[in-house]
Amino acid sequence: MTKYFIGLILIMGSNIAFAKCSINIEASDAMQFNQSNITIDSSCKKLTLTLKHTGKLPVNAMGHNWVMTKSSDMTDIANAGLAAGLSNNYLPNNDQRVIASTKIIGGGQSDIIEIDVSKLTKGGDYVFFCSFPGHWAIMKGKVSVI
């Protein structure tokens, strides 16, 4: 009985120390993300990321996605995404430079993805952006892996 309670206390204690392994991001009709810096804790095995479009405009007018790449790959991926079109979520197919991405969503929609954190490098130079045409100039930010 005592052993059981000690075990229970240890489990509860370790819960408090767990890293935050889920992130919620919002994008709006004003063509903006609500965050410009995202931190991923490398002690997370997987990170659950939820993108929510808080606006009302349809996907073809104000579509948003959340795409993560290395900083040096962003422009190339954004340009390739432009050519790929909406039916491909404005991203090149099976491009290994895309580390993670949600689908393109319109107002009132959301998408949830899981990111394999073990593939990321601590201190790596990562960014996130929306690959909808013209959005990445404004809709972008830094991803820090700590």
Q: Which is nearer to Co ion, 19 or 59 (CB)?
A: 59
Tell me: does residue 128 bind Co ion (CB under 5 A). no
Q: How far is the CB of 132 from Co ion (least distance, A)?
A: 4
What's the min distance (Å) between Cβ of 60 and Co ion? 12
Q: Report d(CA 33, CA 140) in Å as an integer.
A: 8
Cβ atoms within 10 Å, residue 98: 19
The binding track of 54-73 with respect to Co ion, each residue x by CB under 5 A or -, is ----------x---------
Among the listed ranges 12-20, 80-88, 119-127, 130-138, the one in contact with Co ion (CB under 5 A) is 130-138
Which of 47, 74, 130, 143 is close enough to bind Co ion by CB under 5 A?
130
Nearer to Co ion, 104 or 120 (CB): 104
Residues of the shown chain interacting with Co ion in the complex, contacts defined by CB under 5 A: 64, 130, 132, 135, 139
